[in-house]
Amino acid sequence: MAILSPVVVDAVAPERATDLRRYFPQAGEVGAWKPSDTAGIFAGDDLYLLIDGGADIYHEYGFRQVAARDYADGQGRSITAELYEMTDPAAAYGMYSFKTNDEGKPIRAGHDARLSEYYLNFWKGRFLATLIGFDSSTVTIAGLLALAKALDDKIIDTGSRPALAGLVRLNGYPAPRIIYLMGNLALDNFYKFGPQNVFGPAEGVLGKFNDFDLLLFKYGSPEEGRKRWQEALGKLRQNPDFSNKAVGDPKSGAGFSMTDPKGRFYLLEIIGDCVVIFIGIDRTKAASIQKELRDRLAPDR
């Protein structure tokens, strides 16, 4: 009855392909947990064979291939391990941040790792590992942690978070939940600015604070930033979903302000090569953060 049979494919050019199967622990390496199938590998567009409609977001971040393998403990419990090879560490980190939404319990594995109720994610170098248990029993959680350690030990890649991800950390505020964005699909899952891609192709970061969100899009140069800013303002002005649109907020000095259908207040500003958007923030609080961001993003202006 199954339609999701793994298919071994070699869509990655042989000289660039990494054999992901070598990273998976073998029987005896993680206690009672033993592989219960052979690793299926899905490369390029064939990712949809594994995760159907969930594939697009991986492609947006930069997907190369994934291997998936099931483990069983002999007592009826099972874990599926998915190891994604992304195009570079930024893509792996971005997908990690999108999938975890910076939620779950931080644990030690890879560069960053989070354990949620029945699954675990970590990223390391250009790799993202997702381990899924089918229950949240102590035995399964221990299995997830053991498998994560075994995978982590075998991956020797390194990488660092994109610099942009650090720009939404603010003095005097607790560290926000950070989602690194590399396209409109990821953004749309948090904020919809219109039917089109309003802010154009841009690297972005969303910082989720306790009582407001901070969005930042970075362009190739201040000139490109200004061009995209003007285009975005044009589209936002025409979007009937937003109201109370005003150029030049008198209190904060921001370039544009508006209110969304849920009544959330938006302040938008261009600073250097970045478009900065505050969502749901008090105007007075925004003014002090704007100064910090202006000093950080365009110190010479």
Partner 1 sequence: MDQPINRRSFIKTAAAMGAATVVGGGMIDDLLAGTIDSTPAAGMADIAVVTGADYFASTIKAVELVGGIKRFVSKGSRVAILPNAVCKYPGTNVKPEIVLAVVKMCNDAGAREVCSLKETAEGYWRRAAEDKMLSTHLDTLKFSSQKFVTVPIPRGKKLKTADIVKDLLEYDLYITIAITKPNAGLGFTGGLKNLMGASAYEPTNRFCHFGSGSKGWYDDPSHLSQCIADLNLIRKPDLCLTDATEFITTNGPFGPGKIASPHKVVAGVDVVAVDSYCSAFLGLTGPEIEMIKQAYNHGLGKMAIDTLKISEVTI
Residues in the site for partner 1, rule: CB under 8 A? 1-5, 7, 48-49, 51-57, 59-60, 80, 99, 101, 103, 116-119, 130, 132, 134, 184-185, 188-189, 195, 261
The CA distances from residue 280 to 10, 262, 265, 296, in Å, are: 47, 10, 5, 22
Shortest Cβ 66–partner 1 spacing (Å)? 12
Answer for the pair 274, 297: CB distance below 8 angstroms, yes or no.
yes
Give me the residue label for tokens 């975005």: 232
202 or 297, CB closer to partner 1? Answer: 202
The pair of three-digit structure tokens given for residue 265, joined into one six-digit string: 């207040």
Reported as type and span, the H/E element at residue 14 is: none
6 or 272, CB closer to partner 1? Answer: 6
Nearest C-alpha neighbor of 25 from the set 126, 145, 151: 151
Q: How far apart are CA 88 and CA 84, in angstroms?
A: 11
70 or 224, CB closer to partner 1? Answer: 70
Q: How far apart are CA 70 and CA 119, in angstroms?
A: 14
Shortest Cβ 273–partner 1 spacing (Å)? 25
CA angle at residue 256 from 252 to 262, to 5 degrees? 95
Shortest Cβ 230–partner 1 spacing (Å)? 23
Answer for the pair 247, 267: CB distance below 8 angstroms, yes or no.
no
Shortest Cβ 269–partner 1 spacing (Å)? 27
195 or 250, CB closer to partner 1? Answer: 195
Sign, CA dihedral 204-213-245-197, equals positive
Q: How far apart are CA 223 and CA 240, in angstroms?
A: 28
248 or 261, CB closer to partner 1? Answer: 261
Q: How far apart are CA 44 and CA 179, in angstroms?
A: 24
103 or 153, CB closer to partner 1? Answer: 103
2 or 13, CB closer to partner 1? Answer: 2
The pair of three-digit structure tokens given for residue 227, joined into one six-digit string: 């061009």
60 or 249, CB closer to partner 1? Answer: 60
Shortest Cβ 181–partner 1 spacing (Å)? 13
Reported as type and span, the H/E element at residue 185 is: helix 184-188
Task: Provide the b/e sequence for 252-262 (b: ≥16 CB within 10 Å).
Answer: bebbbbbebee
Shortest Cβ 182–partner 1 spacing (Å)? 12
Shortest Cβ 287–partner 1 spacing (Å)? 30
Shortest Cβ 95–partner 1 spacing (Å)? 11
